[in-house]
């Protein structure tokens, strides 16, 4: 089985390991999309309704 990268680090500050993020909804949706599956209407609306969070 071939392993594909799901994310790429593009910042200089430390970020959590992907293992720590596997339970997050965003991670699960990204995995679903990477597998070629489609998002349901509810999943799409949930993504759009989230407000961006400031990290600093």
Q: What is the distance between the alpha carbons of residues 56 and 48, in angstroms, rounded to a whole number?
A: 22
What is the mean pLDDT of the segment spanning 4-24?
81
Regarding pTM above 0.85, the answer is no
Is the CB of residue 28 less than 8 Å from the CB of residue 46?
Answer: no
Half-sphere exposure of 24 (CA within 13 A, CB side): 10
Local confidence band at 1 (pLDDT 50, 70, 90 cut-offs):
low
């Amino acid at each position: 089985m071939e392993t594909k990268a799901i994310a790429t680090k593009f910042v200089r500050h430390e970020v959590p390991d992907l293992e720590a993020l596997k339970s997050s909804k965003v991670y699960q949706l990204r995995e679903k999309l990477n597998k070629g599956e489609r998002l349901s209407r509810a999943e799409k609306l949930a993504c759009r309704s989230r407000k961006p969070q400031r990290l600093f």
